Copies of this chain bind each other. A is one copy, B any other.
Amino acid sequence: MSITVVGSIAYDRVKTPFGERERMLGGAATHFALAASFFDQVRAVGPVGEDFGESELEVLGTRGTDLADVERVAGGKTFFWHGEYGWDLNSRETLDTQLGVFEGFQPKLSEGSRASEVLFLANIQPDLQREVRAQLPQAKFAALDSMNLWIEIARESLVSAIESVDCLILNDAELRQLTEKPNLISAAREILGWGPRAIVAKQGEYGAALITRESFFALPAYPLETVMDPTGAGDTFAGGFVGRIASALAEGTSLSEGLLREAMAYATVLASFNVEEFGTERVERLTREEIEARLGELRAMTQFAASA
């Protein structure tokens, strides 16, 4: 079994109040793969330029991620993002985006990537997400991320893409924007009506919520005193979430509320490690033991009994 992820592989230039990196490995597919690879075989699909280094390729391949569909475009330049975060890390400004090889990207999936039972469509143009989705008609679980840009300029196509997946993972402000409903529950209910069976609302430092037709679940973010760089936190979250689901499906478990919640907890833990250092630095050398230990802590932080 395996997980196919389609999305950006990038170089990021990032400045936060705690430091900066001139050119570090980034991209949605990268962060997703580094997290999901703890749980199952990942197959990364995305373009890189001639400038993409061997050592970055090696990091992308951490924990066995298959790189057969990482397309190196002759003469092309790798996607580049430059951003800076504000004092409390809750706001960020994009200073530069160079699409490079991402412009005109047409995902070409190998037989291996098409055979995956689980699919994650990271934030790319929604028409491309639909094309990829159509190439894995047998996938047991497909999840999708997006962003405000596509809500603004390609809403109809995005809605079609969402209709085709099992789970939408989006920032909560974007869920409101997408549905024009100020209330998160109302927004999620509307989207559940389009087809997905689960909506994950990412809430940054406040954690995340899971809304299904039957239930509501929410988890705080794992509390950290040192947050270095939030870049990639959302995709790392998605990697933990989708990864845990993939490993359970591979074992023959069906997609239950309990599994979705456990996946939310792994997602929260993975994202918390991601932000402790710049880019992929922390998750690269993360161990499963560290993940399990923090999962136990997170459970302890969210439990209460009532004596009345």
Contacts and interface: CB of A to CB of B under 8 A. Distances in A.
Given A209-B220, A218-B220, A262-B307, A89 B299 contact: no
A306 interface: yes
A203 interface: yes
A57 interface: no
Interface stretch (A99-107, A133-141, A150-158, A222-230): A222-230
A254 interface: no
A305 B89 CA distance: 31
Interface string A221-244: 001111100000000000000000
A115 interface: no
Contacts of A186: 225
A15 B233 CA distance: 38
Interface string A194-233: 0000000001011101010001111110011111000000
The size class of the interface chain A forms with chain B is 35 or more
Contacts of A185: 223-225
A209 B203 CA distance: 15
Contact of A182 (B88, B295, B301): B88
A176 interface: yes
B182 A87 contact: yes
Given A88-B176, A206-B207, A216-B223, 7 more contacts: A207-B220, A209-B223, A211-B223, A262-B304, A262-B305, A262-B307, A302-B304
10 contacts: A183-B225, A186-B225, A209-B220, A215-B301, A258-B304, A261-B303, A295-B308, A296-B306, A302-B303, A302-B304
